[in-house]
Structure 1
Amino acid sequence: MKEEFKAWLKEHWQENRGACVGLSAGVILAAAILLFGFWRTLFVVLCGGIGLYVGRKADREDDFFGRLADEFLDRINRLR
């Protein structure tokens, strides 16, 4: 029985990878909402999304953080 379940799970993972990931994400999100509440879960999801956006942007651009720091310091100097 255990081996049959493993084979079934492996087959479904190979054929429906997106559905499996989506189902897992949905279950985790639902559990987080039940455990922590909607607004706290939304805050964590938004922070994760922002982190993902910044990380992907940093992967695509050379010296992303250096340019970001230069722009930030330029704005601070303009305020003086």
Structure 2
Amino acid sequence: MTLSGYVVAVLTGLDHWERDDRGRHGFPGAILAGYVTDLVQPVKHLTASRPADRKLADLLLGTRLVSHSGGTIAYVTTAKTTAG
């Protein structure tokens, strides 16, 4: 997830989504891989248990990325990796 182009949180496990009767989507397998608490001097908190998810979060958190917003949350697609 980005805020003004800066990655402030990384969610993994978004391969599967469900839609409710209001048209809202949910991601039952989503995992918070990490987040930052400061953008001036990013403080990273890596929370995922899988090494590959932690590595991805560490790489992206606090960086500036072009993202696509469909509302309050912006998304950035990454290529699947086999690193672990």
**Higher relative helix content:** 1
Larger-Rg structure: 1
TM-score (norm 1): 0.25
Greater relative contact order: 1 or 2 (C-alpha under 8 angstroms, separation 6 or more)? 2
**Higher relative strand content:** 2
TM-score (norm 2): 0.24
